[in-house]
Chains A and B, each alone.
Chain A
């Protein structure tokens, strides 16, 4: 690994191939990063006979999500795997953060890899100098807390850390929680010290960030099943012939499949891991799910007032088998 690093550090033509830097905003242990390393990279490098050399930078070392997306648009990095931080300028990218639109994770996968994904991709590519090559699981978000949290009423008055995104903030507020916005990097210490009581993230994140050590309750709500997307900048894309583009597209699709398979396998083991670590894990019952959807109606009202297509998209998702 180190020799490879030395070589690629010396020249952008390492291994004889064109260097393709891929900024990944999640840790190397996540399904998306593993799929990029084990599926995407070898597939592209082999099928283009080494004309491209893929270099992955995981854990956000090249910058925050929004920044690496900007780098991709500018051609500073060739590709990136990021979440939905470009939502304010590309409104369709709010869709992956819509709460309770997917029936379950399998349904979310079919939507992203099918009609819904195609719809968003078309809208994004129409406006932005990027290609959206593939949809990866970012995870189903669950709530965790230090205070008792296993029913809808428990949200009342809890201090929950939320990402700086109006949908997430409104969701937590409509559940009765007090929202504290802070950066991912400060969450561990804040949970440990009780600056906040809890947060919402996929269990895989709770595991990889070590938050389970400082949390007591998990409420498996799956309220948002959000995505990561693989983008390629147009500068790279337009420099490739059609055959190479096809290779990249197929590798992205294969990596996407691998990541979703991995993620779905992991969900159960992550849950078991939390139980083994002594956390109280509660699944969301059908009645509570219905009650929760009712309670977060203000979020849908907000979405419908902001985006005239929001209702149609929810219907489209509901109609996907």
Chain B
């Protein structure tokens, strides 16, 4: 019954237009009233405790890194390098986009930010080469959900902190799925390029490839630093964030000389604002999740999922469907904050590795960025590609289906996630 109160207040609040962070507090207050345990300190204390987290500080750090990279000339050099490498095959700019997105994803932590940054570079490039505008925009949108799957990843930090799972392990678990998803997108693009009979560009000379590699080497070193640093234990995920900030700053100012110190304040303000929104929501979720704990709601949900507990694959499948459904209308951070405390006990009861679950859960959640009616990456890609929602929704489905197939395989064969994860973690 408390579960009903929780859902009714949360969904009701969201639907009448209360921002999601306040809807979460509202559902917490409604549960207090329902359980005869109203006390204002429950709200204020949980909000404070939710924001008081060292691990979560990785969020502003990685957001700030993205800001610095765009203004420091790092982003466009990654695109140039990808273009020199694969620009010459049929529909080559599509593969360029996928490769650039994958490289970019290994530095950026948020799908919306990377779509905004790369969209304005990649989509006009493809359109100018005579590619279909809708399909080009859809490809960029579908590709950019790699950002939070390939490490670093803001959603993984949020999940890891809430679930008590090592953020580093989640990061390492995201590498292989990001590669599978890029491969799936390449396959879809191959057929599109054939069907649309897309033009080819002249092959670039070895000298040009080497030149763009040398020019972009500093940008391409950043993901290497992150991975090696995390893998070798030089620093934690939060600390990797500040290393990235420092590195992007140095490269932007001293090597590419495109970043002016006067831009720093804008970047800091922008990072502070973005992460305040994410963190305030994460903190607000602590209010409702505290009330859920008191009311034993996770146990209730585990009870509802009992028929599936003996079959982990079926359980994962059911959860994926549920998250896809929630993801049609809910953004990434609230989905993670609301569902993690509810689902995790069932995952543990079924004997599923929480780190494996976290990786799959994040992938399904970020796929929600591509599903209407509320798909933030779709919105941003539409803006960058200058098309409307209906057109992109029509063009996105082949990519979305390809990604769903990859997801299905990861549920069916968990080893394709866990084996590389353990390899990269060194376990």
Q: Find out whether A and B make contact in their complex, taking CB atoms under 8 A apart as touching.
A: yes
Q: Which of A70-78, A82-90, A265-273, A284-292 contacts B (4 or more CB under 8 A)?
A: A70-78
- The dominant DSSP class at the B interface is helix
A189 contacts across to B, CB distance below 8 A: 166-169, 236
User: Closest CB-CB distance, B216 to chain A, in whole Å?
Assistant: 29
Interface residues of A in 139-194 (CB under 8 A from B): 182-183, 185-186, 188-190, 192-194
User: Are B37 and A5 in contact, with the CB atoms below 8 A?
Assistant: no
A-B contact count (CB 8 A): 81
A63 contacts across to B, CB distance below 8 A: 45-46, 49, 290
B55 at interface (Cβ–Cβ under 8 A)? yes
Instruction: Report if A2-B302 is in contact (Cβ < 8 Å); known contacts: A9-B1, A9-B296, A183-B54.
Output: yes
A20 contacts across to B, CB distance below 8 A: none
| CB nearest neighbor in B for A182 | B54
A193 contacts across to B, CB distance below 8 A: 168, 230, 232-233, 236
Q: Tell me which of B169, B230, B236, B293 contacts A62 (CB under 8 A).
A: B293
User: Are B54 and A64 in contact, with the CB atoms below 8 A?
Assistant: no
B390 contacts across to A, CB distance below 8 A: none
B166 contacts across to A, CB distance below 8 A: 188-189, 192
Interface residues of A in 50-105 (CB under 8 A from B): 57, 61-64, 67, 70-71, 74-76
User: Are B296 and A185 in contact, with the CB atoms below 8 A?
Assistant: no
| CB nearest neighbor in B for A4 | B296
B224 at interface (Cβ–Cβ under 8 A)? no
B233 contacts across to A, CB distance below 8 A: 192-195
User: Are A2 and B39 in contact, with the CB atoms below 8 A?
Assistant: no
B303 at interface (Cβ–Cβ under 8 A)? yes
Q: Tell me which of B42, B164, B232 contacts A185 (CB under 8 A).
A: B164
A62 contacts across to B, CB distance below 8 A: 290, 293-294
A314 at interface (Cβ–Cβ under 8 A)? no
A110 at interface (Cβ–Cβ under 8 A)? no
User: Are B39 and A76 in contact, with the CB atoms below 8 A?
Assistant: yes
B132 at interface (Cβ–Cβ under 8 A)? no
Interface residues of B in 176-213 (CB under 8 A from A): none
A12 at interface (Cβ–Cβ under 8 A)? yes
Instruction: Report if A2-B45 is in contact (Cβ < 8 Å); known contacts: A12-B36, A190-B236.
Output: no
User: Are A61 and B293 in contact, with the CB atoms below 8 A?
Assistant: yes
Q: Name, among A63, A185, A193, A194, the residue most crowded by chain B CB atoms within 10 Å (CB to CB).
A: A193
User: Closest CB-CB distance, B323 to chain A, in whole Å?
Assistant: 23
A189 CA / B296 CA spacing, docked (Å)? 29
A226 CA / B124 CA spacing, docked (Å)? 66
Interface string of B229-260 (1 = CB under 8 A from A): 01011011000000000000000000000000
Interchain residue pairs with CB less than 8 A apart (28): A2-B300, A2-B302, A5-B296, A5-B299, A5-B303, A6-B299, A8-B295, A8-B296, A9-B3, A9-B35, A9-B295, A9-B296, A12-B36, A21-B294, A57-B294, A61-B293, A62-B290, A62-B294, A63-B49, A70-B41, A71-B42, A74-B39, A75-B39, A76-B37, A76-B42, A186-B236, A194-B233, A195-B236
Listed in ascending order, the chain A residues whose CB lies under 8 Å from chain B are: 1-2, 5-6, 8-12, 21, 57, 61-64, 67, 70-71, 74-76, 182-183, 185-186, 188-190, 192-195
